[in-house]
Structure 1
Amino acid sequence: MLRVDADTVSRTRLAPSPASESLAWLRLAAASGRHPVFGDPGPLARASLGHPDVALLADLLPRNGDTYAPDLLTPQPGTDAPRRDLLDEQVARIEATTQEDLETQVLTYTRTHWSRPLRATTRRIAESGRMQRRLANGLARFWREALAEGWPELRSIIDQDIAQRATTIATHGVGRALGALHPDIEWAGDAVTLASSWDGDIDVTGRDLVLAPSVLGRRDVVIQVDTPGQFVLYYPAQRVGAGRDRGTGSIAQVVGHVRAALLADLGTARSTSELAARIGHSPSTVSHHLTALHRARLVTKVRAGRYVMYQRTAQATRLLEEARDHR
């Protein structure tokens, strides 16, 4: 049971959490799992795990039936940041985590909640004072390489959910909205009660209550109260996959629309500048995506005089053919 007061209720707000969605996608990629609607995280997500900071981030995610993940990895979404800055703000908050909070969550709480021990190398990084910066970099890198292009679709689902919840709040009040979030949640007037195996009371009076719809995460309710002053309640967004053909196999769902367009155009070797002109993006944008595709072994690159020429690999060709077969 989460004890609240009138101040907490008055400061209830709805917000997306790009960090939470990123970690859900990263967890799937690390476990070679599939999302029931969005499918395989894809070769770009898996290739990103080759970076040591992304791998460090993945090492702090639960596995083998455990559920606890340090709250510092998914900072409470801010209030006034423009949409494009939501992830940047959360990354900055990870980097600003105090050493005391980090050691409490990473060293103490994982020992309490995990069935596996923390790896010795991860422990040493946590104790060194360098973990905050590396985790922040790992999240930013994974977002850029594996999820940024797919964010508009996810954000659209989240925005629709938020709009509907906001209408409920405006029409019937916060209590009705809280009670309608999920069957496991009940609103008792001065407390939020959750149907779970955990039994106890947590006093969250005086904190903002942030309701964060989840698209890629678990389909149950997750609460986040370990970071001082923060209170986030994650719940499954409505209409995930509504109107979406789950059998399309579209390569754009796996690598993103810009990268899919690049692969489709790379049956013939082409330079960055030629690709930029053909698909209508700046050379720097095309270069960024080509770097990610090359890291995922979806394109090759060879130098020809003054130019670097890119061409898709056999693996990328298979992805394109599978996408066409499922149309």
Structure 2
Amino acid sequence: MLALRVDADTVSRTRLSPSPASECMAWLKLTAASRRHPVFGDPGPLARASLAHPDVALLADLLPQNGDTYTPDLLTPQPGTDAQRRDLLDEQIAQIEATAQDDLETQVFTHTRTHWSRPLRATTRRIAESGRMQRRLANGLALFWRDALSDCWPELRSILDQDIAHRATAIATHGVGRAIGALHPDIDWAGDAVTLAKWGDGEIDVTGRDLVLAPSVLNWPHVIIQVDVPGQFVLYYPAQRVGASRDRSSRGIAPVVGNARAALLADLETARSTAELATRIGYSPGTVSYHLNALHRARLVTKVREGRYVLYQRTAQAARLLEEPRD
């Protein structure tokens, strides 16, 4: 268990905020690795095309690969305090551009050497040493956001805002400690520390820092901490109700096809892989595959191969079954 030691000052300065930069990095990481999000699926052709820009490619080259976990904190600056959240992204982009050269070199050279299984590319190293990396990373984030996330941000922000409202009510009703302990099964409150299960044994002193609780949609379902930059402490946790709309739409058909198949059909308005569906509805991939095969035989889902994935999507007949009211 990892313990993040706090004090009364940290507790008193705890706040909730989304992090557009963190959402952008999560989407870019999926895009660069040709992977799909378990809820939102394929990042899409516009996101992939954006990788052709050298500044976006540079940004992607600083993201972890092949099981590495470290992301330089300068790419996801601690969210500010703009109450309207209109300028959060612009503020974070400005923070990236203003990163001190010493801080950049510590994160890009020293921390990646410690935490990555691959060496930093020589071209990336030269750009970092030139002093031009900050501006190029800021530009890369702005470009990828424009191309890949700006259109869908209102939908994502709505999920984040609903989560923040829920957590703010929990803090007002039950206090900071209980609210933190309810963020995720791996997160708990020990009175003088935030504890994280499955993070190994250790202790980090974060006393005197602001604690920013940042709900995340595109990092879902992972928990991430950001403590390497002095004075910063960000705890990213999965926002609640990601993909929860399927629960409502599947209730009517569940008595006919069963709960598992109803949940699958409700989730298949968008084409999804077996692995995505297993993550979303909480069944093993083998169980999901069994039910998908039955639904395919009944002509309630279609399946097509796209690269290394087989994607399933409900048919018009299945959509009508979901829409029919039932007693």
TM-score (norm 2): 0.75
Q: Is the 8 A contact 2:220 2:239 kept in 1?
A: no
Contact 2:59–2:137 at 8 Å: present in 1 too?
yes
Aligned residue for 2:105, secondary structure, equals helix
Match of 2:131 among 129, 132, 138: 129
Contact kept in structure 2, 1:81 and 1:89, CA below 8 Å: no
Name the structure 1 match of 2:68: 66
Q: How does 1:257-296 map to 2 (within 5 A)?
A: none
Structure 2 counterpart SS, 1:84: coil
Alpha-carbon distance change, 69 to 32 in structure 1, aligned in 2, over 3 angstroms: same
Matched, 1:179 2:181: yes
Question: SS in structure 1 opposite 2:86?
Answer: helix
TM superposition shift of 1:129? 0.8
Question: Which residue of 1 is the match for residue 121 of structure 2?
Answer: 119
| Corresponding residue for residue 192 of structure 1 | 194
Match of 1:37 among 36, 39, 42: 39
CA distance in 1, matches of 2:208, 2:122: 38
8 Å contact kept, 2:268–2:313: no
- Aligned partners of 2:110 and 2:198: how far apart in 1? 22
Summarize deviations over 1:244-282 as a string: whole Å, max 9, x none: 5532239xxxxxxxxxxxxxxxxxxxxxxxxxxxxxxxx
Distance across 1 between alignment mates of 2:95 and 2:313: 39
Aligned pair count reads 256
Q: Answer yes or no: is the 8 Å Cα contact 1:62–1:114 preserved in 2.
A: yes
* SS of match in other structure, 1:82: coil
CA distance in 2, matches of 1:249, 1:219: 19
Aligned to 1:295: none
State the match for 1:110 in structure 2: 112
Q: Distance in 1 between matches of 2:138 and 2:57?
A: 12
The equivalent residue for 1:247 is 268
Return the offset for 1:323: 9.7
Runs (4+) of structure 1 moved beyond 6 Å? Answer: 322-327
Q: 1:123 to 1:173 in 2, by over 3 A?
A: same
- Secondary structure at the counterpart of residue 87 of structure 2: helix
Normalising by structure 1, report the TM-score.
0.75
Q: Are the equivalent residues in 2 in contact too, given 1:2–1:202 (CA < 8 A)?
A: yes
How many percent identity over aligned positions?
81
Aligned partner letter, 1:208: D
- Which amino acid in structure 2 is aligned with residue 158 of structure 1? L
**Secondary structure of the corresponding residue to residue 235 of structure 2:** strand
Q: CA deviation at 1:63?
A: 0.9
Partner-residue secondary structure (3-state), 2:191: coil
Structure 1 residues 324 and 223: CA distance shift in structure 2, 3 A:
closer
**Unaligned segments of structure 2, at least 5 residues:** 247-265, 272-311, 320-327
Matches of 1:58 and 1:169, distance apart in 2: 36
Corresponding residue of 2:224: 222
Q: Flag the 1:218–1:241 CA change in 2: closer, same or farther, 3 A.
A: closer
In the alignment, is the contact (CA less than 8 A) between 1:38 and 1:246 conserved in 2? no
Compute the RMSD of aligned alpha carbons.
1.8
Instruction: Provide the secondary structure at the position in 2 that maps to 1:83.
Output: coil
Distance in 2 of aligned mates of 1:135 and 1:56: 7
In 2, Cα distance between the equivalents of 1:12 and 1:35? 29
Match of 2:30 among 17, 28, 31: 28
